[in-house]
Amino acid sequence: MVDGRAEIVVIGAGPAGVAAALAAKRTQPARRVLLLAEEDRDPYEKPPLSKSVLMGMAEPESKPIADGGALAAAGVTFVRGARAVGIDRGRREVHLLEQPPVAYDALILATGARVRVLPVLPQDMAGVHYLRTAADALLLREALRRSDRPADVVVVGAGLIGLEAAAAAAGSAITVLEAGSSAMARVCSADLARMIVDRHARAGARFRFGTTIVAASPSKEGTSLRLSDGDVLEAGLVIVGIGAKPDIDLAVAAGLPVGDGILVDEQCRTADPAIFAAGDVAQFRTRWCADPTRLENWRHALDQGNVAGTNAAGGETAYEGVPSFWSDQHDLMIQGAGWPDGLALPCLRRTLGDNRVIEFHLRDGRVRYAVAIGAAREINITRRLIERQILVSPQALADPAVPLQGLLKP
């Protein structure tokens, strides 16, 4: 039960919310910081849900962001199962479902994102699974385990989540449907994507690009899917991974300006100086991008949450972080760092060995983004090249005989 008043209230207990709460408490230890989680569990990491949790190698609670004890030790008041249903900006109150309102001096919205849903495959349709929360992952894991034979699994979407789910479902007959012409188009070139697709194909997955679902209905096998090319697939299980959309409902109802997310400045402030936003839900400004942008990214959420929490407690910090991501698919470790800008940048490749490669995207002679397979050390060095915006030689970047470490020296 939430009681009394909190000077700083954080809605959402993902990485951005937890980081914001901890940063606010570090900045102003004497102020009461309240962290509200809609789910009735301790804050947990979401990246493992489509990887180790789905494969049965871990449980959601085994990958915590911070448990209740750690938050209490830091001085943060943490409340599970607290669903915010409204914000009264005039009275500076957060309204909660079936609980008294909470007053605030500063409010941080870290409500994250929700799955994008295909109208032809609603979330309550039997045999259809979306993956966003711990409950989603556990339900899908159980469905995969229940199969007494390799079921026909159809994965909709060849992005990070879709391909991680496809790897976790290995052993089944898997078909991946992708509306675009390439896998992982938001994070890597078509050439690099082909390496990833080939690895899935060796594990038995079939890919159909330029294909969408136009109708779906229950069938004896599970779900009958009619495709845009006229074919019909029978699926024992359908996994939909077509991205996410920011959870902006509270902000919209409160009259805050939104675009593709809650609009904030470099310091994570909304149009209301008492309200901040961070993480997947925020559309923000940064020196790295000419236009406001939004990211769904673990490291970005932590870094931006830290900025929002610091500033909600009276700081004046600008968000200038360099985001990064990682993905496990079969035996491939895929990592990226920087700002892809829709990948509309010149690309260079450095081949390091079998299934080991790093791809650099440059602007004005400087690395802006990089993505790699099996090259953790190289990505870490490249991240520093991006942060420092060091002018580099394209020939040196592409030559595996030239140590990347040496390029850090201006």
Mean pLDDT of 185-207: 94
232-235 vs 152-156, strand pairing mode: unpaired
Give the architecture-level CATH label for domain 331-408.
2-Layer Sandwich (3.30)
Mean pLDDT of 90-111: 96
**Mean of the per-residue pLDDT values for the chain?**
93
- DSSP one-letter string for 36-62: E-SSSS--B-SGGGGTTTTTTS--GGG
Say what the pLDDT of residue 149 is: 47
SS3 35: strand
Say what the pLDDT of residue 6 is: 67
> In 3D, which of 307, 319, 324, 317 has the Cα closest to residue 22?
307
Backbone angles phi, psi at 188, to 5 degrees: -155, 165
SS3 367: strand
pTM, to two decimals: 0.93
Distance of CA 245 to the CA centre of its chain: 11
Same fold, 117-240 and 331-408: no
Say what the pLDDT of residue 321 is: 87
Say what the pLDDT of residue 118 is: 96
Give the architecture-level CATH label for domain 117-240.
3-Layer(bba) Sandwich (3.50)
Residue type, 140: L
Mind listing the pLDDT tens digit for each residue in 202-255?
A: 999 999 999 999 999 998 878 999 999 999 999 999 999 999 999 999 999 999
Give the architecture-level CATH label for domain 8-114+245-312.
3-Layer(bba) Sandwich (3.50)
Dihedral sign (CA 248, 251, 252, 257): negative
Say what the pLDDT of residue 345 is: 66
Contacts of 383 (CB under 8 A, 6+ apart): 322, 324, 337, 338, 370
pLDDT over 70 (residue 5): no
Say what the pLDDT of residue 385 is: 96
Could you state, in order of their start, the residue ranges of all structural domains in the chain? 8-114+245-312, 117-240, 331-408
For the beta carbon of residue 106, count every other beta carbon within 10 angstroms. Answer: 25
SS3 336: strand
377 vs 362: CA distance, rounded Å: 19
pLDDT over 70 (residue 2): no
Distance of CA 166 to the CA centre of its chain: 17
Burial track 112-145 (b if 16+ CB lie within 10 A, e otherwise): bbbbeebebbeeebebbbbbbbbebbeebbebbe
Mean pLDDT of 126-135: 94
- Work out the angle at residue 284's Cα, subtended by the Cα atoms of residues 372 and 328, and round it to the nearest 5 degrees: 25
Among 43-52, 241-250, 318-327, 342-351, the least confident range: 342-351
Say what the pLDDT of residue 395 is: 93
What percent of the chain is predicted at pLDDT more than 70?
96
User: Six-digit token pair at 188?
Assistant: 């890597």
User: Six-digit token pair at 46?
Assistant: 């979401």
pLDDT over 60 (residue 188): yes
216 vs 190: CA distance, rounded Å: 30
Mean pLDDT of 328-344: 87
179 vs 375: CA distance, rounded Å: 29
